[in-house]
């Protein structure tokens, strides 16, 4: 039927790669990706801030409808992050406490909703990662259409099934499947450099000479 498709995911980032990313600041990952990739500032953590990382199981659904999201939760493997493009519409919630409880019982890695959630208080007190664009008490419809394991885009950030999705208090980021190793090594180096900076600040050795050097190059100071 047109508009209803369930595809087979052909590949997914391995669990040992996911584990290496856990706790690595999303801002550091973003920096080494040239700050060109983001899921949009509306996608915020709706849970207690616990780190999220896992291979994407993608869903595209009609705004306000969660039929195919229910099916995606059944299909998802432990550790998967179900990423839902619901068009960014905030009128009706796509998930709430019941669906999140079910996802947690299946040991999924998290849920991302480009749309609204409800039962915000219960989700906020929980440690199961949920990122969404808004909150509303109005519930969803269950009619479709929708598509599972397709290419989606959130505010220009393309997500292919099986890509690595990470999230923390700064927001959401997708790392393409073919780049997870190279980006991890670069982000690990970036994080180590920042940790050294914090140590220098604490020791009173923070070097800010680059500021004047930059201003001189711009002709601001002589």
Element holding 26 (H helix, E strand): helix 26-32
**DSSP structural state of residue 141:** B
146 is in an annotated binding site: no
Tell me which DSSP letter residue 59 carries.
E
Q: Is 96 assigned a ligand-binding role in the annotation?
A: yes
User: In 10 A of CB 25, how many CB atoms?
Assistant: 17
Dihedral pair phi/psi, residue 130, rounded to 5° = -135, 125
State yes or no: 98 annotated in a binding site: yes
Measured in degrees and rounded to the nearest 5, phi and psi for residue 217 equal -65, -30
119 assigned ligand-binding residue = yes
Query: Are 84 and 69 a contacting pair, CB within 8 Å?
Result: yes
Integer Cα distance of 87 and 41 in angstroms: 15
Pairing of the two strands 52-61 and 164-168: antiparallel
The reply, when asked if residue 127 is annotated as ligand binding, is: no
Please indicate if the annotation marks 99 as binding a ligand: yes
74, 75, 76, 77: CA torsion to nearest 10 = 100
**CA distance linking residue 32 with residue 21, whole number of Å:** 14
| Binding-site residue positions for substrate | 96-99, 118
| Binding-site residue positions | 96-99, 118-119
| Binding-site residue positions for Mg(2+) | 119
């Amino acid at each position: 039927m047109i508009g209803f498709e369930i595809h087979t995911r052909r590949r997914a980032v391995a669990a040992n790669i996911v584990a290496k990313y856990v706790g690595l600041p999303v801002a550091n990952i973003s920096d080494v990706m040239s700050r060109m990739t983001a899921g949009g500032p509306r996608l915020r953590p709706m849970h207690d801030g616990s780190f999220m990382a896992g291979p994407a199981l993608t869903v595209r659904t009609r705004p306000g409808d969660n039929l195919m999201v229910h099916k995606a939760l059944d299909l998802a493997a432990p550790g998967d992050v179900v990423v839902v493009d619901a068009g960014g519409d905030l009128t009706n919630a796509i998930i709430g406490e019941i669906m999140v409880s079910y996802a947690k019982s299946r040991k999924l890695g998290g849920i991302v909703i480009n749309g609204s959630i409800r039962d915000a208080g219960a989700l906020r007190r929980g440690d199961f990662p949920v990122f969404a664009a808004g909150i509303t008490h109005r519930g969803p419809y269950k009619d479709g259409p929708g598509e599972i394991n397709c290419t989606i885009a959130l505010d220009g950030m393309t997500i292919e099934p099986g890509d690595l999705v990470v999230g923390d208090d700064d927001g959401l980021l997708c790392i393409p499947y073919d780049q997870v190793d190279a980006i991890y090594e670069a982000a690990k180096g970036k994080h180590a450099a920042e940790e050294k900076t914090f140590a220098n600040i604490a020791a009173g050795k923070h070097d800010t000479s680059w500021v004047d050097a930059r201003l001189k190059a711009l002709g601001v100071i002589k």
